[in-house]
Amino acid sequence: MGCQTSQMTDVRSVEAAEFRLAMRNLASGVAIVATGTQTTRRGLTVSSVTSLCMDPPCLLVSVNSSSETHAAILANGRFGISLLCSGQEDLALRFAGGAKGIDRFATAPWEQGTLDVPLLEPAIGALECVLHHHQVVGTHGLFIGRIVATRGGNGDPLVNFQGALRALPQA
């Protein structure tokens, strides 16, 4: 299923490579979205978490629909977002494909949140969501989560910019 529009159908979309090249210049925070308990934990690295609205408090996260995490979020109806900080590049890469399934969780301390979703203990922030809405667009599922719990932390954010994981320069 591709992106469908009701207007401007005579205007062509850019090629995927052109789109990818343009988006490399949009700096974005890096996070891990995770769900499940014990041996059913699933998670992956994302750089597509967006604040959506304040009433009710919701966020939007985009997950490739072919990933096991996509199916697990649909099955569980809840998920956690752990915001990564500089120095957690190895963990981001591990969850981006360096390991699979439950093995992704082996190298860092995790806790189960209020909703019984995995949250990275040393994250600079964490949000727990119940699934409010799901929509497939092209290759990805868009998950709208209603935020029911948050936790702060310390550190500088890890960002994705021009295809590399980076720390923000200090002011």
SS (H, E, C) 90-138: HHHHHHHHHCCHHHHHCCCCEEECCCCCEEECCCCEEEEEEEEEEEEEC
Note the pLDDT tens digit of each residue in 21-38: 888 888 899 999 999 998
Give CA–CA dist 17/61, Å, rounded: 22
- What percent of the chain shows pLDDT beyond 90? 71
59: closest CA among 138, 125, 157, 155?
Answer: 125
> What's the mean pLDDT when you consider all of the chain?
91
CATH 2.30.110.10 applies to domain 17-161 = yes
pLDDT at residue 61 greater than cutoff 80: yes
pLDDT, position 4: 52
pLDDT tier, 1 (very low <50, low <70, confident <90, very high otherwise): very low
pLDDT tier, 14 (very low <50, low <70, confident <90, very high otherwise): confident
- Please tell me which residue, 135 or 11, carries the higher pLDDT value: 135
Give CA–CA dist 92/46, Å, rounded: 9
pLDDT, position 153: 84
- Do you know the residue count of the chain? 171
pLDDT, position 13: 86
Structure token digits, residue 147: 């935020």
3-state secondary structure of 64: strand
Q: What is the largest CA-CA distance in the chain?
A: 51
Domain boundaries, the chain: 17-161
